[in-house]
Each structure stands twice: as C-alpha cells, then as structure tokens.
Amino acid sequence: DAGVIQSPRHEVTEMGQEVTLRCKPISGHDYLFWYRQTMMRGLELLIYFNNNVPIDDSGMPEDRFSAKMPNASFSTLKIQPSEPRDSAVYFCASSPGLEYYEQYFGPGTRLTVT
C-alpha cells in the first residue's frame, strides 16, 4: 500500500504569494494531520481532521493559514499571503484511529519564502 503522498516536495516562493500544499493520506485512515517543523520550534501540530471534518485547528498560527479536506483522499494546506517566517518543512500524516494513535507521515514539503 502506498504511504502518505505530499506535493510538491520543495516550494520556493516570494513573500506575498499564495502557497498550496497537497496531501493524499493512506487509504482507509480516518485521521489526517498537518504539522510544521522548524529548528526553533520542533514539530508542531497545525490542524487535524477526522472523517474529513476539522477537529482541532488551534495550532494554525494565524488567518493566513487555511486547510481543507474535500474528500477522504485529499487535503490542502494554503498560506495566503506567505511570509518569510513561514519557511519550514510541512508534514502531512494520517492515522487509522486505533487505540494508540500511531501516525504515518509523508515525506514533507520544504517551503522557502523569500
């Protein structure tokens, strides 16, 4: 079975531009998570979905960030407008929702905002 798929793997954009990151979770997983990883703050949870419904978006840094999950096999994380401080690696993960909350991560998208 394919793992979590993310695209693009690398994104370089200029400040003020819109950025859209994409994720395809593992088939059959009911939970999808978006994380951001930086050297300073480590791995931070931004938002997660259960059965395509956003459950907790308390980690979304500000209104410039939005996430959607239109169906069970696709999610997007959008930043508009982007700022240099948004530069980070963004991970998508999915989980089958079993007892111990084990998560399966994608390879990440490295975002650089200049």
- Binding segment for another protein (CB under 8 A), chosen from 15-23, 60-68, 70-78, 106-114, is 106-114
Query: Taking CB under 8 A as the criterion, which residues in 39-68 touch another protein?
Result: 42-43, 45, 48, 50, 55-56
CA–CA separation, 112 and 38 (whole Å): 12
CA–CA separation, 91 and 14 (whole Å): 21
Q: Which is nearer to another protein, 14 or 102 (CB)?
A: 102
Q: Quick one: how far is CA 83 from the chain centroid?
A: 17
For the chain, the distance separating the N- and C-terminal CA atoms, rounded to the nearest angstrom, is 37
Q: Which two tokens stand for residue 38?
A: 């930086």
Q: Which is nearer to another protein, 7 or 80 (CB)?
A: 7
Q: Is 2 in the site for another protein (CB under 8 A)?
A: no
| CB-based contact 83:25 (threshold 8 Å) | no
Q: Which is nearer to another protein, 81 or 87 (CB)?
A: 87
Chain residues in the site for another protein (CB under 8 A) = 4, 31, 33, 42-43, 45, 48, 50, 55-56, 91, 93, 95, 97, 100-108
